[in-house]
């Protein structure tokens, strides 16, 4: 039993480290998106960045802003999915501890954030705010750059597909990721409520 307890503790520690690493990786994709869109805009407008400037503006650089955004949105959502799965797995650790130590009731669980009632509040507020930030970074910025191309009459017919299709796909990916994360959080909250009900306590 002590060996299994030690294993549970070590598993909790390493999963937390992995979770923090994946959160950083996910957020780095967002940073890279902002940097890449800024670099493409600077290239298109002939703006000097960190002492580097093109000989002349390269307007067509704005055309690849949407495809780049789609690729980075997918990579962001892949990491976010893994973060969600890790959080979901960690939310079950208190039950494993109760089962391992053969405690009489779930009231003796050591609560972690992933299984707390605070996670429901997170789904009601922060998840929506984060979605707005994602849509602004991965959809809004490249869309504005594309509209600039249209406004300045620098738009070619083939560029419409290059911009519209990736942005539509990026929007679909982001909304799917949001739905999945919200569904996971609600499932955890429902499980927590069921465990805390009087019938669950008596069983």
Q: Which tens digits make up the pLDDT trace of 86-135?
A: 888 887 777 766 565 555 555 556 666 776 677 777 777 788 899 999 99
Can you give the residue ranges of every domain in the chain? 2-195
- Per-residue pLDDT of 133-192, as tens digits, reads 999 999 999 999 988 877 776 666 677 778 889 999 999 999 999 998 888 777 766 655
Write out the chain in H/E/C secondary structure.
CHHHHHHHHHHHHHHHHHHHHHHHHHHHHHHHHHHHHHHHHHHHHCCCECCECCCCCCHHHHHHHHHHHHHHHHHHHHHHHHHHHHHHHHHCHHHHHHHHHCCCCHHHCCCCHHHCCHHHHHHHCHHHHHHHHHHHHHHHHHHHHHHHHHHCCCCCHHHHHHHHHHHHHHHHHHHHHHHHHHHHHHHHHHHHHHHHCHHHHHC
Stated pTM of the model: 0.80
């Amino acid at each position: 039993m002590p060996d299994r307890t030690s294993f549970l503790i070590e598993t909790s520690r390493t999963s937390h480290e992995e979770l923090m690493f994946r959160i950083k990786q996910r957020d780095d994709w967002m940073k890279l998106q902002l940097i890449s869109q800024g670099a493409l805009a600077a290239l298109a407008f002939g703006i000097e960045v960190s002492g580097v400037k093109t000989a002349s503006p390269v307007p067509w650089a704005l055309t690849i802003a949407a495809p780049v955004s789609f690729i980075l949105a997918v990579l962001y959502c892949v990491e976010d999915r893994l973060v969600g799965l890790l959080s979901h797995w960690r939310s079950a650790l208190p039950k494993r501890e109760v089962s391992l130590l053969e405690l009489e009731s779930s009231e003796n669980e050591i609560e972690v954030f992933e299984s707390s009632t605070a996670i429901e509040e997170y789904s009601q507020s922060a998840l929506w705010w984060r979605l707005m930030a994602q849509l602004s970074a991965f959809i809004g910025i490249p869309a504005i750059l594309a509209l600039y191309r249209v406004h300045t009459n620098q738009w070619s017919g083939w560029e419409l597909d290059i911009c519209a299709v990736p942005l539509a796909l990026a929007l679909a990916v982001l909304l799917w990721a949001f739905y999945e994360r919200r569904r996971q959080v609600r499932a955890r909250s429902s499980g927590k409520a069921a465990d805390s009900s009087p019938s669950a306590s008596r069983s």
